[in-house]
Amino acid sequence: MKTPVIVDAIRSPMARAKPDGALAELHPVDLLSQVLEQLVARNQLDPATVDDVICGCVSQAGEQAGTPGRLAWLAAGLPAHVPSTTIDRKCGSSQQAVHFAAQAIMSGTQDIVIACGVESMSRVPMGSSRMGKNTTGARFDERYAPGLVGQGVSADLVAAKWGLSRSDLDAYAARSHQRAHAAQSSGAFAREIVPIRSPLGLVSADETIRASTTPEKLAGLKAVFENEELSARFPQIQWSTTAGNASQMTDGASAMLIMSEERALQLGLRPRARFVAFDVVGDDPLYMLTAPIPATQRVLAKARMQLGDIAHYEINEAFASVPLAWQKELGADGERLNPRGGAIALGHPLGASGIRLMTTMLHALEDSGQRYGLQSMCEAGGMANATIIEVLR
């Protein structure tokens, strides 16, 4: 069996998904094409040798409906014979793209694969692909009567189940911004970000980080998912989730060069990390956001490791209650949890987030001289991917 390794991992700056956002005037294909172009160029890779491009994208509608990885590859002027496919495992789409790329190499069917992800949430709003239709069907609705709830309500259910207060959520959210600001100010993001040309000019830094955020300021925000009918159904909910302690809707793209260790060495490229283990699991779709807990337990068991063996944890900050519940349930060290901030500060461009997290984790492990990192992301429908990587020296 061949050993898949990470040769490089990069991302675009994270931009606010608003009309005046730094990337809002850039078509998602043009955004991703620049990331792919720079990934190939900085590794002096012959693009004709790439076997496949696996792209995570959640809202596959409108400008993102046309197999965005394929279109971006061609838009970058790269060889037409290289194919692409699009993955939708909701928020973990590009993390799943990484898993599929690594598995293809392990099987021996492919040697060089680019995993990537893109989401322009300003141009293709979340939920666009549903077109207002019921996506569940009668049999599903019957099984889960009286019905599932939106992710924000699930976030409040998680907070209630794990005894997380509004002040806990706000303190965590403020810390995310503080950690991301410290990383940005120190230049820690410099190696992982590639500049993007937009109609408004060159974008080279994240615009989502709010250095002045404090728990006191966040405490003034209104809970956004409070609902009288749901309050009667779920009296335990305290309605604590706000726009300030949830992930930001963002435009962004990311990409990772994965190949067999043998091929990397043949090409004179340095393998930067290997995959220790990966997994994906489902959990209660009502709570929806809890699957990172069993996913972590399963991937650690596969790797024959303990959580304490891991130096860096990336648990996606879809909502503050998600990493906090994960930390509380598993007894994790908060200093190792999202040490450079997470989606509350950096944003969550759905299809691009999986590789964004892994890119940040890889660079942080290299900078600190540490060895193992673990990543997991909650996904709509109550699923989660989990990955353990080992940095190679």
348 is catalytic: yes
Q: Residue 234 to residues 113, 158, 161: CA-CA distances in angstroms? A: 46, 12, 11
Task: Find the catalytic residue in 55, 57, 116, 378.
Answer: 378
Task: Tell me phi and psi for residue 316, to 5 degrees.
Answer: -60, 130
Q: Residue 203 in contact with residue 22, Cβ under 8 Å?
A: yes
Task: Find the catalytic residue in 27, 99, 348, 363.
Answer: 348
57 is catalytic: no
CA–CA distance, 98 with 379 (Å, rounded to integer): 16
Here the tokens at position 231 are: 């309050």
Burial class of residue 46 (count of CB atoms within 10 Å of its CB; 0-12, 13-18, 19+): exposed
Measured at the CA of 261, the angle between CA 270 and CA 278, to 5 degrees, comes to 105
Task: Find the catalytic residue in 91, 99, 116, 177.
Answer: 91
CA–CA distance, 14 with 67 (Å, rounded to integer): 22
Point out which residues pair with 197 in neighbouring strands.
202
Helix then strand then coil, % of the chain, to nearest 5: 40, 20, 40
Within 10 A of 165 (CB to CB), how many other CB atoms are there? Answer: 11
Which residues are known catalytic residues?
A: 91, 348, 378
